[in-house]
Structure 1
Amino acid sequence: MAIQISPSILSADFARLADEVEAVAGAADWLHVDVMDNHFVPNLTLGLPVVESLLKVAPLPLDCHLMIEDPDRWAPAYAEVGAQSVTIHAEAAKAPVRTLRAIRAAGARAGLALNPATPVDGYADLLGEIDMLLVMTVEPGFGGQKFLDLVLPKIRRARELIRNADASVWLQVDGGVSAETIERCAEAGADVFVAGSAVYGEKDPAAAVEHLRALAERATAR
């Protein structure tokens, strides 16, 4: 199980976004882009035009997490402009299978996100339609929140379902991931980690990425 780290630019300095991206380019696997519309979640961040601009300068593939209403309408466009991974929320999608297939057809990896209170078992039948399952470890909407330990059993259950389905699906966690929590997530079965303030809140973001990776790898090697 290869460990991947995806720094979230939600915690970056937007006035120096290109520099912030470059700061993790040599260490991270992905760049996590939180798209929020102030409807599905109570926050407004960035959208398709900023993603298009990032794609021109980012040396890392973009992992776009859409926390928006009507992802069925908007998600394929993110894949079409070049985002390499596009994740929609199960709670917001009305036609998830169609939308996930449209994302894949446009050349991106398709992800499905679940809020902390959303049971994973109800989406086991969709594992064949996705490339990544995102288990939120905070309520979506804002960075810097405290990790919810109550989600750990769901991460374990998600890994069990993926294993039982013999599916090639990455298991991502997002929210409160830090040096204090990443080992618990890795032990539970996660292999892709979104980290915001734990990366961009440090003086050396690249070193923070490497430290998080080492901790996760140590946990999975036990």
Structure 2
Amino acid sequence: MVKLSGSILAANLSNLESEIKRVEKFIDEIHFDTMDGHFVPNLTFGYPLIEAVKNCTNLPIDVHLMVTNPEFHVEKLKEFDIQRITVHLETTYHIHRLISRIKEYGFEAFVALNPGTPLYLIEEIIPFLDGVLVMSVNPGFSGQKFIAKSIEKIKTLKNWKEKYGLNFSIAVDGGINETNADVVSSAGADILVMGYGIFKNNNLEQFSKLLKK
């Protein structure tokens, strides 16, 4: 079944608790974008907000590290009650070691790839991953247009699952909405990360039910 992951980057942060309560029964997890203003041209959420989100909901939390020093933040996050840590391949020289450390701390370990990063760069570490996050926009801001070529990456990842007999998740983040969610999920995506598509969606209940069918 396809899961919906609500990116709080698109939520009304002045009413964070009510925003989360409003959507939580229609989604499966919270996507938490940590940006450093260096790896991506934006500066967003830090550790105190993770605690604030945890106090608002029992939904699993995926911390997506869009930072140039993910190793530092993974060490900090080991004390937090979160489900998953997602790190960008582009931000570390030692991705296998970092993935191993994340799993050692008891978290699911996902690797994210920017639109311009080819899949073959992670083929050697696929057996060690819990999932791959395909960025279908250039990371940094909500509300961007979906990059259609991302569909090819999703299909290739699905083929890899069959080829290697693996069961990793395929997540997709960026520009997903009611018009393309079915295409993305049909290509092989298990997790749809949506900001505007969830927090700005006036028909979220209906959309959630239709997608999960």
Give the 3 Å change call, closer, same or farther, for CA 212–82 of structure 1 in structure 2: same
How far apart in 2 are the matches of 1:88 and 1:213?
30
Number of equivalenced pairs: 213
TM-score (norm 1): 0.91
Q: Deviations over 1:48-86 (max 9, x none)?
A: 221122223322110111111111221243243111111
Unpaired segments ≥5 residues, structure 2:
none
Match of 1:56 in 2: 55
Match of 1:104 in 2: 103
How far apart in 2 are the matches of 1:212 and 1:107?
29
How far apart in 2 are the matches of 1:213 and 1:86?
27
Q: Is the 8 A contact 1:134 1:172 kept in 2?
A: yes
Deviation at 1:213, TM superposition (A): 5.5
Q: Is the 8 A contact 2:78 2:105 kept in 1?
A: yes
How far apart in 2 are the matches of 1:97 and 1:174?
22
Match of 1:77 in 2: 76
Give the 3 Å change call, closer, same or farther, for CA 101–116 of structure 1 in structure 2: same
Deviation at 1:12, TM superposition (A): 0.1
Match of 1:173 in 2: 172
Match of 1:131 in 2: 130
Verify: 1:211 aligned to 2:207, yes or no: yes
Deviation at 1:202, TM superposition (A): 2.2
Deviation at 1:95, TM superposition (A): 1.6
Task: Quote the sequence identity (%).
Answer: 33
Deviation at 1:163, TM superposition (A): 2.1
Q: Equivalent residue of 2:79, what SS?
A: helix
How far apart in 1 are the matches of 2:40 and 2:144?
14
Q: Which runs of 4+ in 1 moved over 4 A?
A: none
How far apart in 1 are the matches of 2:159 and 2:47?
35
TM-score (norm 2): 0.94
